[in-house]
């Protein structure tokens, strides 16, 4: 959808540039003395710009062609999807619903795996194709037991197409009290708050080390797995089980914190040594300047 804006303005821009500059430079030599001192080089540069822009236009058109098959009819859903965690991770319509997003004539062909919209009771199985661990825990919960009587499924809390990155913010009074009191949900949230805060803090520290080009992939993957295991617990809706499992998760978080802290110490030493080297270079430059401007001048 964002690329659609490019299609609207880029052709007009190309035409405008061509008319104002390329045509002027080639047809009015008198202007070469003013605007174009080196007319041939300037015309070449502008034509090169047009060529690159045209190439980008073709690339963006190809991307739009892939998206627009679904988005042409489902514009409101597309707007929601663009704000979702699925969109940020490159998960599009066909990844969940099947079909062929490039086939404008028949994108919903069952031969291409199209399954369409699931039923209310079929949503957990539908989402569980990717979120197997979450589905497993959900099926153990009171939410799952109540599903056949109109109880909540995945989209009740996460929405169908505007899913946000999973966090404890989803456990809130406004959302939970649509179906029941907030008492048990609040206990679950409070039981998990400390671990959630430590995981978030670790993510920021790992990102900082990654920005310094440290080999942090193994720690990052371990934290990602721990975070997913932790968030899956919320779907059991069992306070006692969550408290029990959180103890084990805390041990893994402690191990990762120790690993990250060790790397941060190395980074701190590297910064100190780097600062010392810079100071020596500056002192050396200052001494050299003083020597040249006093001793040699005498």
pLDDT, tens digit, 9 for 90 and up, residues 181-194: 999 899 999 989 98
Of the candidates 230, 222, 272, the residue with the CA atom closest to the CA atom of residue 248: 230
Is the alpha carbon torsion for 193, 196, 198, 201 positive or negative?
A: negative
For tokens 């009015």, the residue is 28
Which residues, at least 6 apart from 114, have a Cβ–Cβ distance to it below 8 Å?
Answer: 97, 98, 99, 100, 107, 108
In this prediction, residue 31 carries a pLDDT of 39
| Dihedral angle of Cα 27, 31, 37, 39, to the nearest 10 degrees | -10
Express each pLDDT in 154-168 by its tens digit. Answer: 999 999 999 998 888
Express each pLDDT in 100-144 by its tens digit. Answer: 988 888 999 999 999 999 999 999 999 999 999 999 999 999 999
Helices vs. strands in the chain: H and E counts, helices first: 14, 0
Of the listed ranges 15-19, 127-131, 289-293, the least confidently predicted one is: 15-19
* Token couple for 91: 């998960």
For tokens 């047809």, the residue is 27
Flag whether the pTM goes above 0.75: no
In this prediction, residue 8 carries a pLDDT of 41
The CB density around residue 166, as the number of other CB atoms within 10 Å, is 18
């Amino acid at each position: 959808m964002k690329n659609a804006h490019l299609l609207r303005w880029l052709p007009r821009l190309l035409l405008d540039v061509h008319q104002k500059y390329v045509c002027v430079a080639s047809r009015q030599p008198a202007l070469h003395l003013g605007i174009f001192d080196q007319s041939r080089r300037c015309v070449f540069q502008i034509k090169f710009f047009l060529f690159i822009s045209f190439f980008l236009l073709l690339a963006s058109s190809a991307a739009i062609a892939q998206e627009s098959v679904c988005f042409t009819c489902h514009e409101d859903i597309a707007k929601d999807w663009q704000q979702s965690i699925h969109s940020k991770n490159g998960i599009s319509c066909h990844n969940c619903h099947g079909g062929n997003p490039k086939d404008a004539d028949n994108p919903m062909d069952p031969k291409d795996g199209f399954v369409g919209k699931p039923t209310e009771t079929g949503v957990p199985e539908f989402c569980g194709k990717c979120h197997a661990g979450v589905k497993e825990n959900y099926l153990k919960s009171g939410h799952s037991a109540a599903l056949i009587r109109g109880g909540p499924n995945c989209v009740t809390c996460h929405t169908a197409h505007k899913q946000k990155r999973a966090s404890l913010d989803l456990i809130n009074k406004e959302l939970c009290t649509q179906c029941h009191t907030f008492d048990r949900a609040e206990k679950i949230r409070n039981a998990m708050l400390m671990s959630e805060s430590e995981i978030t803090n670790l993510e920021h520290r790992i990102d900082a080390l990654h920005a310094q080009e440290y080999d942090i992939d193994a720690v990052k993957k371990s934290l990602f797995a721990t975070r997913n295991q932790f968030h899956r617990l919320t779907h059991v809706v069992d306070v006692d089980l969550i408290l029990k499992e959180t103890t084990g998760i805390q041990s893994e978080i402690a191990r990762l914190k120790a690993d990250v802290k060790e790397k941060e110490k190395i980074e701190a030493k590297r910064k100190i040594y780097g600062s010392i080297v810079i100071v020596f270079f500056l002192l050396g430059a200052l001494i050299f300047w003083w020597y040249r401007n006093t001793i040699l001048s005498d």
